[in-house]
Structure 1
Amino acid sequence: MKIRDRVKELRRVRAGDLAPHPKNWRTHSRFQRDVLRGLLNEVGMAGALLARELPDGSLQLVDGHLRAETTPSMMVPVLVLDLDDAEAEKVLLTHDPLASLAGVDDTRLGALLGAVETESKAVGEMLAKLAREIESEEALPAPADVEITPSYQVVVEVDGEAQQREVYERMRAAGFRCRVLTL
């Protein structure tokens, strides 16, 4: 598989100069905004925003809208991507959901939760929520073994409702248990 590198450059740009993508579908709760502010205060900007350059030379966000809104007067790191409209929309649609597909190693997460300290109330609440989630998963009983009895069936495709009714009646008359299925 050949993978194209779509990153043109890393630029430092005033966040307020970045145009939000008009099709950005993400919303941000007050809690998420508070968590971000807490992390920016304790750690700082630890990731680049994603943007593409428009024909007029301006930059349009693809990812990082909340960070840009939160720090409008700050110079922020921006990965400038070489994307057309359709590709930008695809990244906008899939970037966050792709990350959310990752699994969780409860042991490692628990160790990190025990080691990381925060002064931010919002960050602390988010970490406590993570801890409750892994505790509730551990409390679930293991699924019981289920024994599935084999079932042997025949599906007959017919040309219409009349033929379906005829085949059904014939099979029932021959002593078979039948069900009618229309897809």
Structure 2
Amino acid sequence: MNILIINGSPRETGRTTQVTREIHKSYQSSFLDLSQLSLPIFTGEPHQYETEEVQELIKKIEKGDGILLATPEYHGAMSGALKNAFDFLNSAYFAHKPVALLAVSGGGKGGINALNNLRTVTRALYANVLSKQLVLDPADILEKGTLRKNAADGIHELVNELTMYTQVSKQILEAKQNV
């Protein structure tokens, strides 16, 4: 089973990047780091799909059985880098895949708007978005992405639920193929 963690932040030193790198290390999952992937701005032109960066994005999404999406909240929505990445994809990459959502908030506005925005977009891609979601506040994050205990426990619960739904989803899809 392959759980893919996606860092939706374009910032190499941002809190979302720090947190997702720590989650990746802790759970030894696959990792797609948008702060390290220079995707072109989506125009819909066919030649864009031939770029190395877009091919890497597609391959990682295809291999993921379940996905944890993490984003900062920018102006009440997910990051533009993450939305741009989604624009290169379609429902074939997300259909029937369990997806967990995580927002890392900056100021005092929380991250719920980013989660709602992310939920809307991923549901439009036919992902099976988990009900459980998590917002981390700046106070939850210590040095280099290390989390306070309550935040680490929240991440653990979110990853466990994603793992459970991913296992069930894989079993159902395998049973359908054997019929």
For the aligned pair, the TM-score class normalised by the smaller chain equals: under 0.3
Say which one has the larger Rg. Answer: 1
Say which structure is richer in strand: 2
TM-score, structure 1 as length reference:
0.23
Report the TM-score when normalising by structure 2.
0.23
| Greater helix fraction, Structure 1 or Structure 2 | 2
